[in-house]
Amino acid sequence: MAHGLDEIKRPIATELETFERRFRETLRSPVPLMDRITYYIVRRKGKQMRPMFTFFSALACGGISDDTYTAASLIELVHTASLVHDDVVDESYERRGFFSINALWKNKIAVLVGDYFLARGLSIALETKQYRTLEISSNAVQALAEGELLQIEKARRLDIDEQIYFEVIRQKTASLIAASCAAGAASATAEEATVDLMHAFGEKIGIAFQIRDDLFDFGLDDVGKPRGIDIKEKKMTLPLIHALNQASRGDRRRMIRTIKKHSDEPQRVAEVLAFVRDSAGIAYAEAAMYRYRDEAFGLLHQLPDSPARMGLEQLVNYVVDRVY
């Protein structure tokens, strides 16, 4: 049974409110411009998925402590920095229905704000001597950059096979969700095996999350994300990769040529969407998504049963069943 996000977060609602207040305080700066920008960023927050994974993971692995708040702040700082920098790299002027930082304050300021967030994360981890959490989040930042570069390198020739696709999304999307779970666990227990277990759990959820996102591009329901946006951006997603692999040589060549040379023409993008919908690509990607979800549950069930573990299960189901 699918639960709404507000219902899922109820057991940690008080902690999330405290986290938000502390996160805002963490970002205080004596520079008025920085303060104005961080106020704008905090005001347009998303669904709080990463902090939820951090707090539930801590609760499932021993309990929420002061260190959990620091861990959640560190991951959120890294995540926000990556979004601000992404918008500069992608020349994107909107995020979640708001203007991006680079749209309002230009690229130079956006890059500096992203740098400030990363440095602030380093500072709070060092102030509280949370070296393990710092290691977890630094590895995630490294993976984000490598995943992005791997995708850029491969996208030029559109030669992304399934193995490369999974490597890209493991680094680009799954690394931060894995870090959220591992950092939460590390704030609650010194047992490395448990921290590693939660990292592996988060990685599988992150991959399922990205496949769900890929599927939205080909969906028929209104999900708030424009159709074919990945095709316009020449992104190779799992439904498309599978459809191309199953196609005749002629169809495959024609579709790749369309994506390479005509991705700015709505009619041609619609042809690619129809091609994927008519193939087994959608069902194949859905099966992969549910497989990763089930593998994540297999890892999670190595922890003792608890309300926190149930909260994580509900969050996982929300990730794969969400409609936007």
Which tens digits make up the pLDDT trace of 44-88? Answer: 667 788 999 999 999 999 999 999 999 999 998 988 888 777 777
- Per-block mean pLDDT, blocks of 10 residues, the chain (324 long): 77 91 84 80 77 95 92 90 75 66 76 87 89 92 90 74 91 94 94 96 95 83 60 83 89 86 81 87 93 95 93 92 72
Distances (CA, A) of 135 to 73, 76, 141, 183: 15, 15, 10, 9
Alpha-carbon gap, residue 293 to 323, rounded angstroms: 16
Rounded Cα distance between 95 and 87, Å, is: 8
Concatenated DSSP letters of 43-64: HT----HHHHHHHHHHHHTT--
Residues whose CB falls within 8 Å of the CB of residue 242, separated by 6 or more in sequence, listed in order = 162, 279, 280, 281, 284, 285
pLDDT at site 224: 46
pLDDT tens digits, 117-142: 889 989 988 998 889 999 999 999 99
| Beta strand residue intervals within the chain, DSSP E | 94-95, 98-99
Report residue 234 as tokens. Answer: 């020449």
CA distance 41 to 267: 36
CATH says 5-321 is which class? mainly alpha
Domain-wise residue ranges, the chain = 5-321
What is the pLDDT, as a whole number, of residue 97? 63
> Phi first, then psi: what are they for 214, rounded to 5°?
-60, -40
Residue pair 199/231 in contact by the 8 Å Cβ criterion: no
SS (H, E, C) 159-185: CCCHHHHHHHHHHHHHHHHHHHHHHHH
Alpha-carbon distances, residue 50 vs 28, 46, 163, 251, 305 (angstroms): 21, 10, 26, 40, 22
Question: Which residues are CB-neighbours of 14 under 8 A, at least 6 positions away?
Answer: none
